[in-house]
Amino acid sequence: MSSVNGKRPCLGELAAAGAPPPAGLRPPPPCDYAEAAVWEALGGGWQCLHGCFCQCGVSIEWHEFTCAEPRDWARSFHPDSVELCFNLSGHARISAGPDSALFGPMTTGCYFAGQGALAAWRLPGERHEFLTVEFARDFLERHLQGCELALDAVLRRALRPESHGRSISEVERLTPALRKAVEGMRQPPVSGAAQHLWYQGKALELMAQFFFQAGPATAQASPLQRLVARDRVERAIQILSGRLAEPPSLEDLGREVGCSPYHLSRTFSREMGLTIPQYLRQIRMERAAEMLKSGQFNVTEAALEVGYSSLSHFSHAFRETMGCCPGLYPLNGAPAFRPLPPTAAGGAQSAAKTSQRTGSKA
């Protein structure tokens, strides 16, 4: 059986494909959801960093791809699993009945797959980079026994599927500490046999951090308020994506989505994990990267198409976002994309120089 990104398929995947296990290992039960095969059918872009869902009860996986058409991400979910998603770039919509969540760049959240009830799509024309940690129900039951009353609503639903409740958590900002944790899981500080123990500890740490109810100090808005906020952010994203060359001012954007500029700015940052200028710069660079990769645009043309009249400002922003200068991007193919929000000094100053719109500049 072939593997994706050079990683060997898990034992359950071998059994599902009818292949014999390695010498000395007894055959495991078939894994109905062969992860490698699913992602291979979807065009690749998947790498298992640790574990095997059907053997260990937990798997940590890295995903990196660009899709021309909407990608049915739900095909990779195991039934009765809970998955944490750390979304670095790209947009994804997950829904289950009345529950719905939009994962934007630099956001995180979790969801319960149940028995195929989730719908999940990755949007086309974007570069998607995200890390997932997927937990089997028996793994959760084993480690969360006796903690049921303190668990988050999604976890209570996962452990008691007959109950009613949310299947999708609120989407939260990916903090600097969590971004560092994601990079750590991609490049663990230990090697060899020690990695299994390190990854298991990291999985338990994430369970403790995400799967329990928040204290009273972190009380959130009502469901209706959250829905209104989400709709406003989605509308703002649509407007910005359609006007990269001439984005509206923050005041105009607020009027179009129906709230004050101050409230929109705060809501957008909370939902997306990026300020509006940071987000605008990111989608400009992603669009420019696609143009350059197509071979139909040179650097000057790509810069003008996304609203930059200064090549030096464009090159600086592109290098910060995409990891290389725009002239080399087509030669490098698609370098590792690690979108970094502007820092308080250098990045913010660069953003302020490159746009004459959107409040503080992008």
Burial class (CB in 10 A: 0-12, 13-18, 19+), 228: middle
Q: Would you list the domain boundaries of the chain?
A: 11-218, 223-354
Gyration radius from the chain CA atoms: 21
Angle between helix axes 261-272 and 250-257 (nearest 10 degrees) is 80
Q: Return the pLDDT at 163.
A: 61
Task: Tell me: pLDDT of 360 over 70.
Answer: no
Task: Tell me: pLDDT of 200 over 90.
Answer: yes
* φ, ψ at 287 (rounded to 5°): -65, -45
Strand partners, 51: 59
Task: Tell me: pLDDT of 20 over 80.
Answer: no
The larger pLDDT score, comparing residue 132 to residue 216, is at 132
Non-local CB neighbours of 160 within 8 Å, separated by 6+ positions:
none
67 φ/ψ sector (left φ>0, alpha ψ -120 to 50, else beta): beta
| Percent of the residues in the chain that have a pLDDT greater than 70, as a whole number | 75
Per-residue pLDDT tens over the stretch 44-55: 678 889 988 778
Task: Tell me: pLDDT of 56 over 60.
Answer: yes
| Percent of the residues in the chain that have a pLDDT greater than 90, as a whole number | 30
DSSP string, 316-361: HHHHHHHSS-TTTHHHH-S------PPPTTHHHHHHHHH-S-SSS-
**Average pLDDT of 196-209?**
93
pTM for the model stands at 0.57
Task: Tell me: pLDDT of 116 over 50.
Answer: yes
Q: Return the pLDDT at 37.
A: 62
Q: Return the pLDDT at 353.
A: 34
Domain spanning 223-354, CATH architecture:
Orthogonal Bundle (1.10)
The total number of residues shown for the chain amounts to 362
CATH classification of 11-218 is 3.40.50.1110, yes or no?
A: no
Strand partners, 172: 108
Task: Tell me: pLDDT of 58 over 70.
Answer: yes
**Average pLDDT of 310-317?**
92
Q: Which two tokens stand for residue 358?
A: 């959107």
Q: Share the mean pLDDT of the chain.
A: 78
* Distant-in-sequence contacts of 258-266, Cβ < 8 A, 24+ apart: 258/232, 259/232, 261/359, 264/232, 264/236, 265/359
Strand 127-136 relative to strand 58-66, pairing: antiparallel
Residue ranges of the alpha helices (H) in 80-162?
137-144, 153-159
Sign of the dihedral defined by the CA atoms of residues 211, 213, 215, 219, in that order: positive
8-17, 120-129, 322-331: least confidently modelled range: 8-17
**Average pLDDT of 15-22?**
52
Q: Return the pLDDT at 157.
A: 85
Per-residue pLDDT tens over the stretch 139-192: 999 999 888 888 888 888 888 866 666 788 888 888 878 888 999 999 999 988
Angle between helix axes 276-294 and 261-272 (nearest 10 degrees) is 60
Place of tokens 């009613």: 164
196-210, 234-248, 262-276: least confidently modelled range: 262-276
Say if CB 271 and CB 256 are below 8 A apart.
no
Q: Which two tokens stand for residue 62?
A: 């890295």
Task: Tell me: pLDDT of 266 over 90.
Answer: no
Buried b (16+ CB within 10 A) or exposed e, 249-283: ebeebbeebebebeebbebbbebbbbbbbbbbbbb
Of 27-31, 39-43, 108-112, 151-155, the range with the highest mean pLDDT is 108-112
Task: Tell me: pLDDT of 349 over 70.
Answer: no
